[in-house]
Each structure stands twice: as structure tokens, then as C-alpha cells.
Amino acid sequence: MTAMATKCFLNGDLKMPASITVKVNGKEVTEVIKENTLLVDFLRDSLRLTGTHIGCDTAQCGACTVHLDGSPIKSCNILAVQADGAKITTIEGLSTKEGNMHPMQKAFRDHHGLQCGFCTPGMIMSALGILSKSRKPTEAEIREGLEGNLCRCTGYHNIVKAINSGAEAIAKAQE
């Protein structure tokens, strides 16, 4: 956190403007924002990365999941200033420059892992978080790793199948 951000926290004043610099999907950006801006609002409103969704705003649903320095986090649960200096990956950062889908995105498509699609970006970011712990996760590990992600269409069965298939495709590509 910047010195200015720390000062504002200590003073209890979170509405001061602050400059933050983050690397988002490989591109460095510097923006001046209000101290009380949530990371999810910074991504969606300032950077127009609207693939990160807001389902609850209270850290319940996981729709806002992004990777912060390689680990999945709920971006409605931290202030943007707390991410100052960090590397962030959103769902938009997974596809190639040519627009080809990430293997996990393909697996969700191929296994009908989405219905309305609202939860899907968060599910995929959490799925990749599961793979960072286990290259070939068991069904139990997948279900446990998705504990913080809710699907209001209740498509969990196919989501688990999609993650299993995506994990296999990624592992095969790495062999």
C-alpha cells in the first residue's frame, strides 16, 4: 500500500484520491482513484474489464474472483489501493492475443459448464486456482476449491466435469 493510502487508513479518511499502479493482464496501468474504491469497481469502471462480475458485493458468491499475484481472491473484498504494485489477472487475460480461448474456457464450453454464464468468469478463475495446488485434482478437491463460488443456475455437476476436463487438457499440454 502506498504511504498516502496508509495515512488515509490511519486517519479514517478513505475518500482521498490516491494513485495506484498495477499490472493487469500483463499491462501496467497507473490511475488516480478514491481510496475507498473496491478492486472490483476499479477493474470494471476504471479499466472497463467487465468480465469480472459483481453478484453480492459481500464476499459470498465468488463472481468477482480474479488472481492477485497468482492467487484467486474476491475483488469485492479488498480496496484497489491494497493491490498497489500487484499483478492482477482477470478473465480477459486468459485468452491469447489472437483471441483463442484458454483450455479451461474451452472445457466450460464443451462440457456445458455454464447456463446464464454469470458465475462463469469467477468459476474459471477459481478453477485455475485449484490447479495451482494440484495439477490433476480429484472431484473432492474440485468441489472443495469451489466452496467460495455460487452458481445461481445450480450447474455444479457440469462445472465440476468441465474443470476436470480442463485440468486434463492443461496437464497434457504441459507434458
Residues within the interface to ligand FES (CB under 6 A): 54-57, 59-64, 74, 76, 114-120, 151-153, 155
The Cα–Cα gap between 13 and 123 comes to 34
Task: Choose between 112 and 136: whose C-beta lies nearer to ligand FES.
Answer: 112
Instruction: Give which of 110, 154, 102 is closest to 128, Cα–Cα.
Output: 102
In terms of Cα–Cα distance, which of 52, 54, 86 is closest to 68? 86
Whichever of 8 and 41 has its CB closer to ligand FES, that residue is 41
Q: In what order do the strands lie in the sheet with 71-74?
A: 27-34, 17-24, 87-89, 65-68, 71-74
- Smallest separation, CB 87 to ligand FES (Å): 20
Residue type, 154: T
In angstroms, what is the minimal distance from the CB of 118 to ligand FES?
A: 4
Amino acid making up residue 32: V
* Continuous segment of H or E residues that includes residue 3: helix 3-11
- Report in angstroms how near the CB of residue 107 gets to ligand FES at its nearest: 15
Give the nearer residue to ligand FES in terms of CB position, either 16 or 59.
59
Residue whose CB is less far from ligand FES, 91 or 151: 151
Least separation in angstroms between residue 88's CB and ligand FES is 15
